[in-house]
Chains A and B, each alone.
Chain A
Amino acid sequence: MTSPGPSAAAGSQAVSSAPASLAAGRPAADGHAIELRGVTKRFPTRDGRDYTAARDMTLTVGRGEFVSVVGPTGCGKSTSLSMISGLAAASDGDVLVEGRPVTGIPDGLGYMFQQDAVLPWRSVLDNVAAGPRYRGAGKKEAREKAKEWVAKVGLAGFERYYPHQLSGGMRKRVALAQTLINEPSILLMDEPFSALDVQTREHMQDLLLDLWSGTGAAVVFVTHDLTEAIALADTVVVMTAAPATTKNVIPVDLERPRRVEEIRLEESFLAVYREVWNSLRQEVEITRARGAGNVA
């Protein structure tokens, strides 16, 4: 549960690199919303040896930056999110959020999980109201706020439905509202739309961009889908095959606001796509070869 190493050094760095505009009014920090430095994560396995999910991982996310993380299956992308969220501790290296080492769940952090995390025994409204209620808001106040958010994600009229009465896409909208109602300044998303069909997914991507724009939240979006990664992000980070390390950081210079279904046909989009895919292909092949080795 420790992050050994130069956690004290984080403070000393703080003064130098922070862009003035962003740092104004913030506590002294180094200008990054999220920073992973040489982070390693090992899990003990059944046979007694450690499995290294991430090795010497480096990742920097600026404030208000949308970063997509892509990498081959099972490379430890999700692990990086759980370390940033404080749900899991790094075995080695530094995990910093807003310049502070992560020891518990950082303030202002939202996390949308890959699996369904809505509470099946609560109505849509009460699911969305959960965050404010947990944070001490009164029932009425929380419900009112939740009602706004239910409308923002396009579920007005469904407030009293239970999750099992909704489609997969609608449940994702509930989860999105549930996460965003806390107005996170750091938003972690772990393949949130992977279970949806293509049309629904594009709707959700547009919805996410709409709701995110102007919030200034830093987003880390883990996905397998390169189109999704590029269409959403300011920066795409390519991970190597497991154990994950950062392989490439590719900027996406496409204008906002974007509409996902349009942007993916543009020449500049395709150029980025090619670059990301060239970087990723090798890693995917390594992973496949390993998979074949395991099967044989």
Chain B
Amino acid sequence: MSPDVRTPVAAAPPGAVAEADAPARRRPRGVRAPKITATRVLLIVLWLGSWELSASTFLDPFYYSKPSAIGGRIVDWFTSGTAFGSIWEQMAVTLEEAVAGFVIGSLAGVVLGVLLGRGRFLAEVCAPFIKAANAIPRIVLASLFVIWFGLGMQSKVATAVVLVFFAVFFNAFQGAREVDKTLIDNARILGAGPRQILTTIVLPSATSWILASLHVAFGFALIGAIVGEYTGADKGLGLLINHAQGTFDSAGIYAGMIIITVMALLAEWLLTLLERRLLAWRPPSIATEARI
């Protein structure tokens, strides 16, 4: 097959081995690809160039900063460290909080979502509470969590969890509810019990819904961690940004934003890899290539 083959049937049920013409996800990468990349690079150069130029002439870099200053700040952080110690340490703390919040929040979201999605009675009972909880401006809870859990990691993880939970929950709920009834009937006839139906039909069927939500959810986890740190912390990227704000250091704010963005993109990439593995059974046409 073409060298573009990306996924060796990794998602096949255990034991199935990839073979030459096994399903593979192919990116439609025609002659247009270099042109697209070139245009993208051009756009970035134009944007940064005009920013740099205007900040050097008529814009006040004290408010708006400029690309060269932001770049210098990032280099500075990575070479000589930040006001609170090594940049790597700040990144590690934020990442740890985000990942912990992401894992706990998505697990809780999947479990509760599938439970309510399959149990009509429970869903009816819980519906108003969930709607109400979803309507709470949850980001404000970050302040409450600082009071409850202190300045340490727990309060940030808690903020990330509440943000992640709802993103995943609603998708898992919908996914569990939309399971094709024929598949369930067929499994019952073939001899499946309730537990087997859950593990072999409902969960795989809801997986594409759940995975779709995980992309958004990791973004939320990072936001939760940062906002938590911003609200009160002794470490982390949110603290750096908060400090930069306190010292009117706009370049520092931008630099923090860029580092967070890169972390989010890396996580996104990992999640996409996971998704490809888990959803290798899907026809390529409905694959998630065109996601923005």
CA A163 to CA B281, docked complex, whole Å: 8
Report A119-162 CB contacts with B as 1/0, cut-off 8 Å.
Answer: 11111011000110011000100010000000000000000111
Q: Does A117 contact B (CB under 8 A)?
A: yes
Smallest Cβ-Cβ distance to B197: which chain A residue:
A134
Q: Which of A109, A110, A122 contacts B281 (CB 8 A)?
A: A122
CA A116 to CA B193, docked complex, whole Å: 21
A110-B189, A117-B186, A122-B281 given; A130·B200 CB < 8 A: yes
CB pair B182–A115 under 8 Å, yes or no, is: yes
Q: Specify which chain B residues have a CB less than 8 angstroms from the CB of A179 in the assembled complex.
A: 189-190
Q: Does B267 contact A (CB under 8 A)?
A: no
Q: Specify which chain A residues have a CB less than 8 angstroms from the CB of B188 in the assembled complex.
A: 87, 105
Q: Does B4 contact A (CB under 8 A)?
A: no
A120-B282, A160-B22, A164-B283 given; A182·B185 CB < 8 A: no
Residue from B22, B23, B185, B279 whose CB has the most chain A CB atoms within 10 Å: B185
Residue from A115, A125, A134 whose CB has the most chain B CB atoms within 10 Å: A134
Q: Does A245 contact B (CB under 8 A)?
A: no
Q: Does A111 contact B (CB under 8 A)?
A: yes
Residue from B13, B19, B186, B187 whose CB has the most chain A CB atoms within 10 Å: B186
A119-B201, A122-B13 given; A134·B186 CB < 8 A: no
Chain A nearest CB from B147 CB (Å) reads: 45
CB pair B189–A160 under 8 Å, yes or no, is: no
CA A111 to CA B205, docked complex, whole Å: 21
Residue from A110, A115, A119 whose CB has the most chain B CB atoms within 10 Å: A119
Chain A nearest CB from B189 CB (Å) reads: 4
CB pair A139–B190 under 8 Å, yes or no, is: no
Q: Which of A125, A160, A178 contacts B9 (CB 8 A)?
A: A160
Smallest Cβ-Cβ distance to B284: which chain A residue:
A164
Q: Which of B180, B185, B205 contacts A87 (CB 8 A)?
A: B185
Q: Does A85 contact B (CB under 8 A)?
A: yes
Smallest Cβ-Cβ distance to A188: which chain B residue:
B189
CA A136 to CA B281, docked complex, whole Å: 25
Q: Does A282 contact B (CB under 8 A)?
A: no
Chain A nearest CB from B18 CB (Å) reads: 8
CB pair A111–B12 under 8 Å, yes or no, is: no
Q: Which residues in window 53-109 of A have CB below 8 A to B?
A: 85, 87, 105, 109
Q: Specify which chain A residues have a CB less than 8 angstroms from the CB of B187 in the assembled complex.
A: 130, 134
Q: Does A193 contact B (CB under 8 A)?
A: no
**A: interface residue count bin:** 20 to 34
Chain A nearest CB from B209 CB (Å) reads: 13
Smallest Cβ-Cβ distance to A115: which chain B residue:
B182
CB pair A119–B204 under 8 Å, yes or no, is: yes
CB pair A134–B183 under 8 Å, yes or no, is: no
CA A94 to CA B39, docked complex, whole Å: 72
Q: Specify which chain B residues have a CB less than 8 angstroms from the CB of A120 in the assembled complex.
A: 281-282
Q: Does B17 contact A (CB under 8 A)?
A: yes
A123-B12, A134-B196, A160-B17 given; A113·B182 CB < 8 A: yes
CB pair B189–A121 under 8 Å, yes or no, is: no
Q: Specify which chain A residues have a CB less than 8 angstroms from the CB of B204 in the assembled complex.
A: 119, 121
CA A120 to CA B11, docked complex, whole Å: 12
Q: Does B191 contact A (CB under 8 A)?
A: yes
Q: Does A165 contact B (CB under 8 A)?
A: yes
Q: Does B15 contact A (CB under 8 A)?
A: yes
Please give 12 more A-B residue pairs, beta carbons under 8 A apart, in addition to A119-B183, A164-B281. A85-B189, A111-B186, A117-B183, A119-B201, A123-B16, A131-B190, A134-B192, A134-B196, A139-B15, A161-B23, A165-B23, A179-B190
Could you pull out 12 A-B pairs where Cβ atoms are within 8 angstroms?
Answer: A85-B189, A105-B188, A105-B189, A110-B189, A117-B185, A121-B205, A123-B13, A134-B192, A143-B15, A160-B17, A161-B22, A165-B283
